[in-house]
Amino acid sequence: MASEALGWLGVPLAIAAGTMRGGTPFLFVSLGECLTEKSGKINLGLEGTLLTGAMSAYAVSYLTRDSLGPMLAPFAGVLVAGLAGMVLGFIHGWLCQQPRVNDVAVGIAMIIFGSGVAFFFGKPFIQPSAPLLPTIDLLAWTDLPEQFQSAVKISPLFVLGVAIAPLMTWFFRSTRWGLFIRAVGDSPDAALAMGVSIFKVRMLSIVAGSFLAGIGGASLSLYYPGVWTELVSSGQGLMAVALVIFARWQPMQCLWASLLFGGAQALGPALQSVGITQGYYLFNAAPYVLTLVIMVITCSPTRTMTGVPGALGSDR
């Protein structure tokens, strides 16, 4: 077998591949959350959005496989996943901006609602196999071992996510809309004095963020692991929220942090592939441990965080 031929070399290779595969959902959700939090509201509900996105992407890809063909159907799935995310985002955006409503509480409700929706409509799609997203095989022309080949199979979604990160940085810096979002997130009073509608800006930020999270869900079900089950997200939406804090609310940092988390996730399976089965569950827990470690490192009683949007977590 190829992995035996590669031996220990397979571990870094598998981690590199896993970084791309596992990092993609993190990347989309954290970019979405970054956009949302820049406007001053938290959307914990992205975990639910992720599941709804995964389910709707898979379902649409399966249902349209004949009418659109196996090449286009998954892309229709991605689009619908984004749209489904927007619907959930709209509900969150409206609810959490009502007077005396707390965005964290709404977010938790939205996790339950989003996963409920996904499980309810997703039941019939657990068994059938839908056409998955095609990948770009960079080394298809060589005769390198299969494991090399699979390591450099790049999903178009990953490329898209990597492109969005610098685009978002530019958006926050050099567009009027980006400045409005930062103003609303940092100092709602200042934004109000400029005649900016806080409600609209936050609503659009939350809806756009949820669109990205929905696409993150599509990458789970149509790229990696490429199935639809109720366990497919395993808390990645919530981890992505922690990741935004780790990334100091900067889109480019979100990219690096997502890759780090993706890599951590690949650690367990990679070690398993070279025959280390002891502590398998421990290695699988790497992303969770990483979340905890980051939380411990970043919180300090004597310092406040830098980069945190001023209105985040307040009632304004």
Partner 1 sequence: MTTASVSASDVISPPDLEVVNMTKQFGSLVALDHVSMHLKPGTFHALLGENGAGKSTLVKCIMGFYQPTSGDVLVGKRSREIASPKDAHQYGIGMVYQHFTSVPAMTVAENLVLSRFDPSVMIRWQEERDRLQAFMDQAPFQVDLEVPVAQLAAGQKQKLEILKQLYLNSRILILDEPTSVLTPGEADEVLGLLRQEVTNGRLSVLMISHKFREVMTFTDEVTVLRKGKFAGHGLVKDLTIADLSSMMLGEAREPKIVDKVITTADRPVLEFTDIHANKDNGLPAVRGTSLTVYSGEIVGIAGVSGNGQRELVEVLSGQRSPTTGTVVVNGTPYGATRSEMFHNGVFSLPEEPLRNACVPHMSVAENMALRTFDRPPQSKGSFLRLGSIRQMANRLIQQFSVKTPTPETPISHLSGGNVQRAVLARELSSDQINLLIAANPCFGLDFSAVEFIHGQIVAARNRGVAVLLVSEDLDELLSLADRIVVMSDGEFVYESAIADADLSTIGQRMAGH
**Which segment (95-103, 158-166, 224-232, 303-311) binds partner 1 by CB under 8 A?**
303-311
Q: Look at the alpha carbons of 233, 238, 240, 243 in this order and tell me if their dihedral is positive or negative.
A: negative
Nearer to partner 1, 40 or 161 (CB): 40
Among 141, 143, 277, 303, binds partner 1 (CB under 8 A): 303
Nearer to partner 1, 142 or 175 (CB): 175
State phi, psi for 4 to the nearest 5 degrees.
Answer: -70, -40
HSE-CB of 225 using CA atoms within 13 angstroms: 12
Nearer to partner 1, 177 or 280 (CB): 177
**Cα–Cα distance, 215 to 218 (Å, whole number):** 5
Least Å distance, CB 95 to partner 1, is: 23
**Cα–Cα distance, 250 to 30 (Å, whole number):** 10
Nearer to partner 1, 12 or 307 (CB): 307
Largest CA distance in the chain: 67
DSSP 136: E
Question: What is the DSSP annotation of 137-169?
Answer: ETTTTS---HHHHHHTEE-HHHHHHHHHHHHHH
**Cα–Cα distance, 20 to 311 (Å, whole number):** 33
Query: 130: phi > 0 → left, psi -120 to 50 → alpha, else beta; which?
Result: beta
Least Å distance, CB 297 to partner 1, is: 15
Among 32, 114, 263, 309, binds partner 1 (CB under 8 A): 309
Least Å distance, CB 310 to partner 1, is: 6
Query: Does 195 interact with partner 1 (rule: CB under 8 A)?
Result: yes
Q: Which of residues 133-192 bind partner 1 (CB under 8 A)?
A: 173-177, 179-180, 182-183, 186-187, 189-191
Nearer to partner 1, 175 or 278 (CB): 175
Query: Does 99 interact with partner 1 (rule: CB under 8 A)?
Result: no
**Which segment (78-86, 208-216, 226-234, 306-314) binds partner 1 by CB under 8 A?**
306-314
Query: Does 313 interact with partner 1 (rule: CB under 8 A)?
Result: no
Q: What angle do CA 220, 222, 225 make, to 5 degrees?
A: 50
For residue 26, give both structure tokens: 């993190």
The amino acid occupying position 27 is L
Total residues binding partner 1 (CB under 8 A): 24
Summarize as ranges the residues that interact with partner 1 (CB under 8 A). Answer: 173-177, 179-180, 182-183, 186-187, 189-191, 193-195, 302-304, 306-307, 309-310
